[in-house]
Amino acid sequence: MRRKVIFEHKLLPYLLLAPQLAITLVFFIWPSVQAMWMSLLREDMFGLSSTFVGLENYVRVLSDPGYVAAVRRTVVFSVAVALLALLPALLLAVMVDKLTRRVATYRVILVLPYAIAPAIAGVLWLFMFNPSVGIVAAGIRGLGFAWNPKLDGQDAMILVILASAWKQISYNFLFFLAGLQAIPKSLLEAAAIDGAGEWRRFRTIVLPLLSPVTFFLVTVNVVYAFFDTFGVIHAVTQGGPAKATEVLVYKAWYDGIIATDFGISSAQSVILMAVVIALTAIQFRFIDRKVTY
Amino acid sequence: MATIDIRGVRKSYGATEVIRGIDCAVADGELLVLLGPSGCGKSTLLRMVAGLERITEGEIAIAGRVVNALEPKDRNIAMVFQNYALYPHMSVYDNMAYGLRIKGMSRAAIDAAVQKAAATLELTPFLARKPKELSGGQRQRVAMGRAIVREPDVFLFDEPLSNLDAKLRTQMRVEIKKLQGRLGVTSLYVTHDQVEAMTLADRIVVMHAGAAEQIGTPMEIYARPASVFVGGFIGSPPMNMLPAEVAADGAALTLAGGVQLPLGQSLGAEHRGRPVTLGIRPEHLHPGAEAPGALPALVDLVEALGADTVVHARLPGGAALLCRLPGDSAVARGARLALHPAPGALHLFDPASGRRLPEG
């Protein structure tokens, strides 16, 4: 039985919620509503007047081949970032979970990259992979591959994928490690006695029991790849060369801030917002059912 | 012929030695109980037999084959865990079939084995359920089922009943005993519950601080405890332990407070005039007439349990004494009792080592 706490004061609950509500209002609701409103307007080229155009901006965005290309690019980018951020994180978590001592030390070391600002991480990778001075770039060339992310779009894409995934590995690692440590050791012992070898135990016991964590992380990583990689891309490639690394969030920023087409940019933002709301909704639905056992 | 031989086994974690040299053997089809308080090393010993802990020193052989270097899966054992360790994402059927599938048995053979085990354990209606949809007793049965379908050489039980409530525990205890007897599988069973040990075991190993204090049948251990620890651990309420001194002629004891107690035998010269610890079980004290050789006790507290009455009494020297009388005994607080020890019910221990004195 849960006892309900009753506040005598009618105003108190609202006062306690006020700071959070204020933040949500100022930094989320207000800009969102403004973006939605702006996505229905069209400004003249001097920014002196705007006219209501209905859904025309959306029609223009969705029928623009450049936008469709960015969608395709974003899907490739997100899947690659999510995979490259999840698999190494799982591997690291499994290995740290096997340690009996110095677990805390390894955990801290592996979590450190998460504390680095995206732009700084980007610059770091930019330097390492810089075709003229980068140490890794020199190594790649030494192996006989042509490497120039400044000119080659594919190289640039690989670079931003690596930089973005690298930053997210720490976060995934922490969750995977916590998930692994929550699996009772006796289950693995029982499976070992039942005759399962290491790989089989991992496949038939660990992975299924880890599935709620994995599912949560897949969603979080996709959302991360969609939105939070702006800093990395901006620092490393600015969406180039020739828009090869221009993902949706970068395009929305570019079209709005650089090209100052506020209507088009707002329409793109609203579409992105719809995507993230959908992803979150799916996640909540699944976490409530299915993946729990 | 599946036997377990434990020879000079030791286990250390760093500098801490938790198992300090244990030798014992489980005969084919026997149920041997490892009994002891928590921290005595009984679970560690079991886990070494299972292959879940490395053996620091000594040798363990299952069915005549030394298994020190073998993985758990190569030892042909089955284990029932305290928390059951059922795979939560699998149905009851899959839990039982897991090991068989790994063995590569055919689908039909697996189905036959699982159905048979389920029928034995009355689990047939629950085969499609997940563990979380089962009661504690049913989960326990599934854990048993998972052990028996594999037809192992050896069953290992790690306190399998301690997560059940008292009533269910009594019931499952009987079922385990029957099942083990019927299947005739050599078993090693760890518990801290002396009643469980007494009722289940063919033989008991009483463990204390990483060593085996005594190995014997339940009745041997009850009748002739090898040490103060065993005497105090087996039996409920526990054995009374009283400081005493052997009289100069070796045929009587002097208790604190000057009470004289004839021994009914004469101790050897080396014990005469020496201190000893006297052990008497509460059920071996019978009230009678005031006479030499009876313990004069003052009743402090009476616990009427129905079938028995436990009397907390005090001797002239101030030593506390427990006495278990039939349930219909009318004894009141403050009463004086003359308690006569049953013949042959006096246990003498060396107060320094705690070991039983060799009988003359």
pLDDT at A4: 67
- Residue A29: is its pLDDT beyond 70? yes
- Residue A275: is its pLDDT beyond 70? yes
Residue A124's pLDDT band, with cuts at 50, 70 and 90, is confident
Structure tokens at B177: 């005993």
ipTM of the complex: 0.83
- Phi then psi for B197, rounded to 5 degrees? -65, -45
Q: Specify the amino acid at residue A271.
A: I
Q: What is the DSSP string of A52-96?
A: E-TTHHHHHHHH-HHHHHHHHHHHHHHHHHHHHHHHHHHHHHHHH
Q: What is the rounded distance in angstroms from the CA atom of residue A30 to the CA atom of residue A40?
A: 16
Asked if the C-beta of A290 comes within 8 angstroms of chain B's C-beta atoms, the answer is no
Asked if the C-beta of B182 comes within 8 angstroms of chain A's C-beta atoms, the answer is no
Contact B42, B35 (CB under 8 A): yes
Instruction: List, for residues B47-100, the tens digit of each pLDDT value.
Output: 999 999 999 999 999 998 999 999 998 999 999 999 999 999 999 999 999 999
| Strand B31-35 versus strand B186-191 pairing type | parallel
Average pLDDT, chain B: 90
Q: Omega of the bond prior to B88 within 30 degrees of 0, cis?
A: no
Structure tokens at A56: 């025309």
Helix (H) or strand (E) holding B188: strand B186-191
Instruction: Give the distance, in angstroms, between the CA of residue B8 and the centroid of all CA atoms in the same chain.
Output: 21
**3-class state of residue B317 by DSSP:** coil
Contacts of A209 in chain B (CB under 8 A): 88-89
- Residue B23: is its pLDDT beyond 50? yes
- Count H helices and E strands in chain B, helices first: 8, 20
Q: Is the dihedral of CA B248, B250, B255, B258 positive or negative?
A: negative
Q: What is the rounded distance in angstroms from the CA atom of residue B119 to the CA atom of residue B114?
A: 8
pLDDT at A45: 67
Contact B110, B54 (CB under 8 A): no
Residue A289's pLDDT band, with cuts at 50, 70 and 90, is low
The CA distance from B292 to the nearest CA of chain A, in Å, is 59
Contacts of A194 in chain B (CB under 8 A): 73, 98-99, 102, 146, 150
pLDDT at A232: 80
DSSP-derived secondary structure letter, B72: G
Closest CB from A187, A195, A208 relative to B85: A187
- Residue B114: is its pLDDT beyond 80? yes
Contacts (Cβ under 8 Å, ≥6 apart) of B86: A190, B95, B131, B139, B142, B143, B146
Q: What is the rounded distance in angstroms from the CA atom of residue B145 to the CA atom of residue B122?
A: 10
Closest CB from A186, A196, A204 relative to B81: A186
The CATH fold assigned to A64-290 is: MetI-like fold (1.10.3720)
pLDDT > 90 in chain A, percent: 16
DSSP-derived secondary structure letter, B185: -
Residue A293's pLDDT band, with cuts at 50, 70 and 90, is very low
Looking up tokens 């940019």 gives A265
Residue B258's pLDDT band, with cuts at 50, 70 and 90, is confident
pLDDT, greater one: A100 or B116: B116
CB-based burial label for B234 (10 Å; 0-12, 13-18, 19+): buried
Average pLDDT over residues A120-147: 80
pLDDT at A292: 45
Average pLDDT over residues B342-357: 89
Average pLDDT over residues A73-95: 91
- Nearest CA to B288 out of B357, B342, B215, B232 is that of B342
Neighbour order of strands in the sheet with B252-255: B260-262, B252-255, B240-246, B275-280, B347-349
The CA distance from B168 to the nearest CA of chain A, in Å, is 23
Structure tokens at A267: 């329409």
The CA distance from B79 to the nearest CA of chain A, in Å, is 7
- Residue B139: is its pLDDT beyond 70? yes
Average pLDDT, chain A: 83
Average pLDDT over residues B115-136: 91
- How is chain A split into domains, by residue range? 64-290
- Residue A291: is its pLDDT beyond 50? no
Helix (H) or strand (E) holding A231: helix A230-236
The CA distance from A224 to the nearest CA of chain B, in Å, is 30
Find the distance separating the first CA and the last CA of chain A, reported in whole Å.
24
Q: Are A195 and B52 an interchain contact pair (Cβ–Cβ within 8 Å)?
A: no
Instruction: List, for residues A181-239, the tens digit of each pLDDT value.
Output: 889 989 999 999 998 888 999 999 999 999 888 888 988 888 888 888 888 888 777 77
Closest CB from B77, B85, B146 relative to A184: B85
For B70, name the nearest residue in chain A, comparing CA atoms only. Answer: A193
- Residue A3: is its pLDDT beyond 70? no
Instruction: Give the distance, in angstroms, between the CA of residue B64 and the centroid of all CA atoms in the same chain.
Output: 26
Contacts (Cβ under 8 Å, ≥6 apart) of B50: A189, A193, B72, B75, B77, B79, B156
Chain A residues 123-182 within an 8 A CB cutoff of chain B: none
Per-residue b or e along A122-153, where b marks 16 or more CB atoms closer than 10 Å to that residue's CB? bebbbebbbbeebeebeebeeeeeebbbbebb
Q: What is the rounded distance in angstroms from the CA atom of residue A184 to the CA atom of residue B106?
A: 30
Asked if the C-beta of B104 comes within 8 angstroms of chain A's C-beta atoms, the answer is no
Closest CB from B72, B87, B146 relative to A192: B72
Helix (H) or strand (E) holding B357: none
Instruction: List, for residues B153-187, the tens digit of each pLDDT value.
Output: 999 999 999 888 888 888 888 888 888 888 899 99
- Residue B31: is its pLDDT beyond 90? yes
- Residue B248: is its pLDDT beyond 80? yes
For B74, name the nearest residue in chain A, comparing CA atoms only. Answer: A195
Average pLDDT over residues A122-136: 81
Q: Specify the amino acid at residue A73.
A: R
